[in-house]
Amino acid sequence: MSYPTNVARGNGWRDNQAWCRLLGLCPLLVVATNTVDALGLGIAAMGVLVTSNVCIASIRRFIPDAARLPAFMLLIGLCTSTAVLLMQAFAFDLYERIAVFIQIVVTNYFVLARVESVGQKRELRYVLLDSITGGVGFAFALLVVGATREIVGQGLLITALPPGAFLVAGLMLAAANAFKRRV
Q: Which of 115, 96, 148 minimizes the C-alpha distance to 45?
A: 115
Q: Region 174-183: what's the mean pLDDT?
A: 80
Query: What confidence tens digit (pLDDT) does each residue in 52-64 have?
Result: 888 888 888 888 8
What is the rounded CA–CA span in Å between residue 177 and residue 169?
A: 12
Label residue 68 by pLDDT band (50, 70, 90). confident
Domain boundaries, the chain: 33-182
- Amino acid 28: pLDDT: 67
Q: What is the average per-residue pLDDT within 107-117?
A: 64
Task: Tell me the DSSP string of 49-114.
Answer: HHHHHHHHHHHGGGS-GGGHHHHHHHHHHHHHHHHHHHHHHH-HHHHHHHHHHHHHGGG-HHHHHH
pLDDT at position 88 is 95
Q: Which residues contact residue 174 at a Cβ distance below 8 angstroms, ignoring those fewer than 6 apart?
A: none
pLDDT digits (tens, 9 = 90+) for 143-156: 888 888 888 888 88
